[in-house]
Chains A and B, each alone.
Chain A
Amino acid sequence: MAQAAARRLLCSSDEVARQLAEVQYTLGDGPGLHAFSIGAPVFAADLTKGEDARRWPVFALRALETGAEAVFAFPLGIGAIAAGTLDLYRDSPGTLSETETAAALLIADAATLGVLRLYAGRGETEYIEGNGDMDWLGGESDHDEVHQATGMVMIQCDVGAEEALLMLRARAFANGISLPALARDVVERRILFGGGDEG
């Protein structure tokens, strides 16, 4: 699972993040694990009292010991692809503003790609040469065809969805076209992956 500590909002040491991740693994429960399993953000804006403290009693106690009083867990993933979570901590209670939430979601999007690429298989080589747009934050995820193409390439190449997505992005980048445009070509069956030349 990926962790991060953004200094402005949160505790400033990765040690805290590491400790709290360990607590969750040991307990088998916690906001980050829950966010991962339900595929939706989980916010515990006040671990010192109230609903959130009751929901995560042991986690809350440990969190407070390390100085974290609020936790915001964002799943990293794209549809059924689940890559981990981004757990943000802050040293005082309080909810995230709309702007902070939007920023965190965008950071999570970028982190998702980062984590997927850490575990990438063959998909990466085409990034070396290419002049396409590598921007995932530009709303590529809004196009249904990108996701449909992911499913198709998964089957065409007999790989997991994560790898299929990376292969699509790499090909779009190498060809200098946008991911949605490539995805449309795949969905309309003008381009077929799995011919053995993706390597």
Chain B
Amino acid sequence: MGRDQKLSDAFVGLADTLGENFDVVDLFERLAAHCVALSGASAAGVMMSDGRGRLRVVAASQERAAFLDLFQLQIGKGPCVECYGTGEPVIAVPVATREEQWPELVPAVREAGFGAIAAVPLRLHENVIGAVNLFYAPPQPSTDEDVYLVQALADVAAMAMLRWPSPQTRPEDIIARLQATITNKVAIEQAKGALAQFGGIEIAEAGEALRAYAQARRTRITDVARAVVRRTLPLEEVLEYSTATPRRVVGESG
């Protein structure tokens, strides 16, 4: 598939909010995946304001702890916080140049296999609601072009999250949607843990089963996750969609 086609598909996919199973967490996971597929970045994550003065990761292109920790290390400082504060992109910065400013983040970024990071604001009109974080593996050079592309993708995703806000969209609608997104993300993580334990599989594999089940049943991932955690949906049903091999036989717990 040519790059233009991929680009076009990405925009169309992000903009599609009409499906019954439109899920905001899924939207941002797709955004992260598109950023990696279409830019020079090897990994991406989406951070969002939690309404309490912090940014929180809501989607990431990799599940490994070493990568997710890079978002934790950005509490208070780092490209996402800078970008969120100024509303301007932080164009890919070789981490070596910021060792003093981000003393904990830089070694962890290198350790995780990346040489440069960038951040692009997630925004709705004048409201900055978060940031998209990009990670480049050396010797991949960063390009300014990436920033324009990722910004455009992020803008579409932000609009889709609000289901196409209008001038009448009130600040509280945005706040409500941000809170709901975070709540949904947490529910999905809870469900992944339950499924992983019940099925004797890895957390990431549980996530795939959840996604596959939701897709097959044409429901929102978040709704499936809630039903799993509240035990209104038998976990075996969801695990039927797992392609993973259980690490061990899991019977009754306790």
Interface residues of A (CB under 8 A from B): 38-43, 45, 75, 77-81, 95-96, 101-102, 105-106, 109, 139, 141-145, 147-158, 160-161, 184, 187, 194, 196
Contact = CB atoms under 8 A, between A and B. Distances in A.
Interface in B7-48: none
Contacts, number: 126
Interface residues of B, number: 46
Contact of A148 (B175, B189, B198): B189
Contacts of A184: 65
Contacts of B228: 80
A95 B189 contact: no
A60 to B, nearest CB: 16
A173 B188 CA distance: 25
Interface of B: 50-54, 56-57, 65, 68, 72, 75, 170-172, 175-177, 179-180, 183-198, 203, 225-226, 228-231, 235, 252-254
B189 A151 contact: yes
B192 A142 contact: no
Given A39-B180, A95-B171, A101 B51 contact: yes
Contacts of B51: 101-102, 105
B187 A148 contact: no
Given A142-B72, A155-B197, A157-B253, 9 more contacts: A39-B184, A41-B176, A78-B186, A79-B187, A142-B50, A151-B196, A155-B198, A156-B197, A156-B254
B175 A147 contact: no
A194 B253 contact: yes
Contacts of B191: 80, 151
B186 A148 contact: no
Nearest to B171: A95
Contacts of A45: 172
Nearest to B56: A142
B56 to A, nearest CB: 5
A139 B71 CA distance: 13
Contacts of B203: 148, 187
A139 B50 CA distance: 10
A161 B192 contact: no
A141 B186 contact: yes
A44 B170 CA distance: 11
Task: Rank and list the top 4 A-B pairs by shortest CB-CB distance, nearest first.
Answer: A151-B193, A79-B186, A151-B194, A80-B229
Residue of B52, B53, B171 most packed against chain A (CB within 10 A) = B52
B172 A95 contact: yes
B230 to A, nearest CB: 6
Contact of B176 (A43, A106, A161, A187): A43
A41 B179 contact: yes
Contacts of B198: 155
A135 to B, nearest CB: 13
Nearest to A99: B53
Contacts of A106: 52
Nearest to A149: B193
Nearest to B195: A151
Contacts of A150: 190, 193
